[in-house]
Amino acid sequence: MDVGIPSTAGPMVKAEGVHKRFGRHEVLKGVNLEVATGEVCCVIGPSGSGKSTFLRCINHLEKIDNGRLWVDGQLVGYVQRGEKLYERKPRDVAAQRREIGMVFQQFNLFPHMTALENVMEAPVRVRRETRATAREHGVRLLDRVGLASHLDKYPTQLSGGQQQRVAIARALAMRPKLMLFDEPTSALDPELVGEVLDVMRQLALDGMTMVVVTHEMGFARDVGDTVVFMDDGAVIESGNPQDVLANPRHERTRAFLQRVLSPTPKPS
């Protein structure tokens, strides 16, 4: 699969002291993080710890209040002149965002379009690709996610797992250099989770840089190059999956893992 070509040799994502507040509620309290190019970074942590907010900051769906955030060596949403930061123009922000694919828990496919039309839409409208080019690429991507025989189906004719794979193909159609996933399998029936994780695993093998917020600890362990544990708006610890998941250094990480890894007690 063709994946985006990074323009610099530095990290794909770098966050330095990222702060974000909603009103008086400080949700990110100085997030520091680096994701190397070609790396899969899995973000875990309790509900409300700021994982989604952080992902949304990476592609500037949320404005940060303090700190710095770079994608592929470029400040996200701002340009720096001397010591001062200036906001980028909306069209420059849009251009930055186009290079970052995002997949959410909810698939958000266009209901009135077939799988292939969903995948072709943004390349034609935003990237001004010809329909022929977008179609050829779209067919290839849908084949790649195992949906070659479903090109002309509408979202309601597809299972949740198939819809999510269309959503992944749709994000890839924009030829992103970075993919963000926010709990992509959380809305799926358990038997459909594997097919989506398999597609993500293959994407990782193909060299895509990925930040994946997930509750799938098996995926984090097997596919993640790093695992980042967030709690209360900050990165508590990060490292290779074996260390973080099997030998966490922090009590908060241990307590979280114990909660998510222990089987749910059966109702009596």
Ligand X SMILES: Nc1ncnc2c1ncn2[C@@H]1O[C@H](COP(=O)(O)OP(=O)(O)OP(=O)(O)O)[C@@H](O)[C@H]1O
Separation CA 21–CA 28 (nearest Å)? 7
With CB under 5 to 8 Å by kind, the binding choice for 10 among Mg ion, ligand X, none is none
String of contacts with Mg ion for each residue 51-70, x by CB under 5 A: -x------------------
Dmax of the chain from CA atoms?
64
Q: Residue 95 is encoded by which pair of tokens?
A: 């251009």
Q: How far is the CB of 82 from ligand X (least distance, A)?
A: 32
Cβ nearer to ligand X, comparing 37 with 52: 52
Q: Are 57 and 28 a contacting pair, CB within 8 Å?
A: yes
Q: How far is the CB of 45 from ligand X (least distance, A)?
A: 6
Instruction: Candidates 45-53, 87-95, 125-133, 157-165: pick the segment binding ligand X (CB under 6 A).
Output: 45-53
With CB under 5 to 8 Å by kind, the binding choice for 53 among ligand X, Mg ion, none is ligand X
With CB under 5 to 8 Å by kind, the binding choice for 71 among Mg ion, ligand X, none is none
Cβ nearer to ligand X, comparing 50 with 161: 50
Instruction: Indicate whether 185 belongs to the interface with ligand X (CB under 6 A).
Output: no
Which of 11, 12, 19 shows the shortest CA–CA distance to 63?
19
Site for Mg ion in 34-53 (CB under 5 A): 52
Quick one: which of 12, 15, 18, 27 contacts ligand X (CB under 6 A)?
27
The packing angle between helices 115-125 and 131-144, to 10°, is 130
Cβ nearer to Mg ion, comparing 52 with 214: 52
Beta bridge partners of 22: 25
Instruction: Candidates 47-55, 78-86, 151-159, 170-178: pick the segment binding ligand X (CB under 6 A).
Output: 47-55
Q: How far is the CB of 128 from ligand X (least distance, A)?
A: 32
Instruction: Indicate whether 47 belongs to the interface with ligand X (CB under 6 A).
Output: yes
The packing angle between helices 131-144 and 160-172, to 10°, is 130
Helix (H, G, I), strand (E, B) or coil at 120: helix
Q: Residue 87 is encoded by which pair of tokens?
A: 């906001």
Which of 224, 213, 214 shows the shortest CA–CA distance to 246?
224
The per-residue DSSP string of 162-208 comes to HHHHHHHHHHHTT--SEEEEESTTTTS-HHHHHHHHHHHHHHHHTT-
Tell which phi-psi region holds residue 150, choosing left (phi > 0), alpha (psi between -120 and 50) or beta: alpha
String of contacts with ligand X for each residue 51-80, x by CB under 6 A: xxx---------------------------
Cβ nearer to Mg ion, comparing 46 with 146: 46
Instruction: Indicate whether 49 belongs to the interface with ligand X (CB under 6 A).
Output: yes
Instruction: Candidates 40-48, 73-81, 139-147, 203-211: pick the segment binding ligand X (CB under 6 A).
Output: 40-48
Q: Which residues contribute to the site for ligand X (CB under 6 A)? A: 22, 25, 27, 45, 47-53
